[in-house]
Amino acid sequence: MSAGSPLATNLCGIALKNPVIAASGTFGYGVEFEKLVDLNALGGLVVKGLSREPIEGNPEPRLFETRAGMINSVGLQNVGVRAFVRDKLPHLAKFQTAVFANVFGYSTEDYTEVVRVLEDAPGIAAYELNVSCPNTRHGGIYFSSDPVLLAEVVTAVRLAAHRPLIVKLSPNVASIEPLAKAAEAAGADAISLVNTFIALAVDARAGRPRIGAGFGGLSGPAIKPIALRLVYQAAQALKIPVVGMGGIASGEDAAEFLIAGATAVEVGTATFWDPAAPVRIARELGAFLKEQKIAHVSELVGTLRCG
């Protein structure tokens, strides 16, 4: 899609062919999908979370399909940032799509070290900070649930990063606005939301959790109405762009998030049953614009008014 395409989008100064991005955690490092998906047709892709050192992840089973979604507890398994830069990132250079690096850690220093390593690597459009992690320096309080801790890590990464910085917020909070505003004030160029909802599935016959680690993160169609509400509330509170996600499985789903205030969307769980879902959803979004006689996708953004 050319710059003149009805779907062409600009996110934090990054030109995207369309506003549909493959989400972190469900699309590997991107290269695993190249035989299944035309990666050049994506608006962008977010690689799975990167940490200072490799992480093996949580005990199995890690996934459980619910009636309207999925619970996962993969445990942020990854090869570590240095192995990613050495072994994975070079393979993405041949594709004409924006690559976003998802970053996480258990202390502010973890985040800044991962970004420091990535700063020297070519081919990355922006960073997405996964702040849904416990801060081990502050008694395990989650960065995503405390505006002060959130501002601390965003400020530190902002000083280390020369690329755009997107902060991925958790829905597991009483109110999203204080966290969104804290991220914006600390230097975030955009926020993305929502991450998964903490959930539990029980095997009644065995009398134990269906996930090896006990709790997991609920995603998929079940969370979409709540995700839409949170995206709307965050977009109303902020001046920076919002990237929306949570149960998007069709072009019309994507349109709903844009109308609620998102500039772009991420597609995650849908790729489990349809690896090419982000490309299909972008195509369906284009058909929706044509059907509704809307000249450009930007005309949808933030048009919802509640109350």
Span 83-123, pLDDT tens digits = 999 999 999 999 999 999 999 999 999 999 999 999 999 99
The CATH homologous superfamily for domain 9-57+73-196+221-299 is Aldolase class I (3.20.20.70)
Please write the tens of the pLDDT for every residue from 180-217. Answer: 999 999 999 999 999 999 999 999 999 999 999 999 99
Question: 12 catalytic, yes or no?
Answer: no
Mean pLDDT, all residues of the chain = 96
Mean pLDDT of 225-231: 98
What pLDDT, on a 0 to 100 scale, did the predictor assign at position 141?
A: 81
Say which residues have a Cβ less than 8 Å from residue 168's Cβ, sequence separation at least 6: 24, 102, 128, 129, 130, 131, 132, 191, 192, 193, 195
**% of residues, the chain, pLDDT over 90:** 94
What residues pair up with 70 in beta bridges, in sequence order? 65, 219
Give the start-to-end residue ranges of the domains of the chain: 9-57+73-196+221-299
The pTM for the full model equals 0.96
Q: Which of 47, 50, 133, 231 is catalytic?
A: 133
Sign, Cα dihedral of 46, 88, 37, 4: positive
